[in-house]
Amino acid sequence: MPVQGQTITPESLPWNPHPKFAGVFLRHLVTGKDAGGRLRLHHVRIDPGCAIGDHSPAGQVEIHDVLIGEGTCTPAGTVLSCIPGVVGVMPAVQVRRVEVGNKDLLPPATFVSPLV
C-alpha cells in the first residue's frame, strides 16, 4: 500500500482477486486508511467475458474513468457504454453492474466513503 507522501507506480502493486466476482481483479492505489476514511481509489481489471454483477456499494458514490477496453455499465437499468475517455458517476444507492465483451476493461474506480 502507498504511504502518505510516497510516490508509487501502479505496476508495482499486486492485482487482488475480487472477493465476490470471478475474473475481476483490484489493484488498491489508495485505501480508506490511507485517505483518513474519506475515499478510496483502485484500478479494476475485468477479464474478457466477465462481469461485476448487480451491486450497490452502500452509502458510496462511485466514479469510473475508463482507461482501456470496452464494456457496458448498467446503473438503475440504463445501459451505458464504457469506453476510454468516458467517466461515469453512480449515486450511492443505485444498483449497477459492469459487463465486458472480448477485451479487458480497466476502469479505475474511486469511492467516496470507502469500503477498504
- pLDDT of 3 reads 57
Distance (Å, whole) CA 111 – CA 6: 21
pLDDT digits (tens, 9 = 90+) for 61-95: 888 888 888 888 888 888 888 889 888 888 777 78
- pLDDT of 96 reads 85
Q: Cell for 108?
A: 479505475
Does residue 115 carry a pLDDT above 60?
no
Of residues 51 and 36, the one with the higher pLDDT is 51
Q: Calculate the CA 33 to chain-centre distance.
A: 18
Q: Where are the chain's structural domains?
A: 13-112
Does residue 33 carry a pLDDT above 80?
yes
CATH number of 13-112: 2.60.120.10
Q: Is the dihedral of CA 82, 73, 103, 39 positive or negative?
A: positive
Contact 69, 104 (CB under 8 A): yes
